[in-house]
Amino acid sequence: MFQPGRRKVILSGGIGGAALLLGGERAEAAPAKGCTFDVAPLEPEPLPPDLTAPAQLARLDGFDLWYWDTGGSGPAIILLHPSTGSGHIWGYQQAAFAAAGYRVIGYSRRGHRGSSAMNAERPGTSADDLRQLMDHLRIERAHLVGSAAGGFTAASFALTWPARVRTVTLACTLLSADPRVLALMPSVREPWWKGLPHEFQELSPSYRGINKEGEALWKSLYAQSRGDHPPGNQPAGEPATVAAIARLTMPALFISGDADLITPPPVARLFANTVKGSELVVLPECGHSAYWERPALFNQAILDFLKRRLA
């Protein structure tokens, strides 16, 4: 059994595959003979259920944020979307986390579908916008789950207002433009990279090969993710550099996909080795959109983490 503060390698059969879990400060090499994975072919994930939680606008300090909220008396989980998404992408997570007893909130950052456009003269930060939304919803502390660009916001918020964060999950994310991180992903800085379709950049070959319906819906949600707003990302707040995240003291989980072309596992491994007592889960045959490609494994990794670290 995993024990916080110790580093172990656990290969566990999961739903449709296996997940590699690392926790603690140093990794021990696992014997090759123990690295057995389910060799059965992946089955396409069913399309996500519709979002059913009530949605509305939070009118904050000169801007609006579109959000949905399942309500309930359980601890709050706030979902922070990637740059290619919006608050509409969390169909796989909303019902699953609510069924586990949590109050689940998803929202669109400024410049994304349903929320206000960014104001170049007064852009604010996405971390402070999150603070204002939590104040608006009267949420003092929350579990934060950030994917990709949403991880920038989650980590910056956790650095600035640590007392308001129960746990933080950072999935498939760079966290900041730290040179140590960029050195591990040279391809994304090449001119040809920007010409690749987003679904090629973000969805694994396995997913694109077996789930054409899911790929089409992902592309549709991406096409709608900005609404009528022009492209561009709001500043996150305090940069979550490698040096900065060493200050994080709340329980932290890093999630990576083994086929992530943007933030491959060495990036998440660097973060997990930096944040004392953190954990790392690597999802098999999974690209940059882990919440979408392997939702059952993604959700279970987070729920198991919350149960284990808050027991």
pLDDT per position as a tens digit, 49-84: 999 999 999 999 999 999 999 999 999 999 999 999
Helix (H), strand (E) counts: the chain: 11, 10
pLDDT classification of 180: cutoffs 50, 70, 90: very high
Distance between CA 5 and CA 251 in Å, rounded?
11
Distance between CA 114 and CA 110 in Å, rounded?
9
Residue of 276, 283, 274 lying closest to 255 (CA atoms) = 283
First to last CA, the chain: 14
Residues 51-310: name the CATH superfamily.
Alpha/Beta hydrolase fold, catalytic domain (3.40.50.1820)
Q: What's the whole-model pTM score?
A: 0.89
pLDDT classification of 121: cutoffs 50, 70, 90: confident
Query: How far is C-alpha 145 from the geometric centre of its chain's CA atoms?
Result: 5
Contact 35, 50 (CB under 8 A): no
Q: Where are the domains of the chain?
A: 51-310
Contact 89, 221 (CB under 8 A): yes
Distance between CA 162 and CA 240 in Å, rounded?
13
Four-point Cα dihedral 184, 287, 193, 178, nearest 10: -30
Per-residue pLDDT tens over the stretch 155-169: 999 999 999 999 999
Question: Which residues in 63-100 are b (16+ Cβ under 10 Å) and which e?
Answer: bbbbbbbbeeeebbbbbbbbbbbbbbbbbbbbbbbbeb
Beta strands in the chain (DSSP E): 8-14, 17-23, 55-59, 64-69, 76-80, 103-107, 142-147, 165-171, 252-257, 279-283
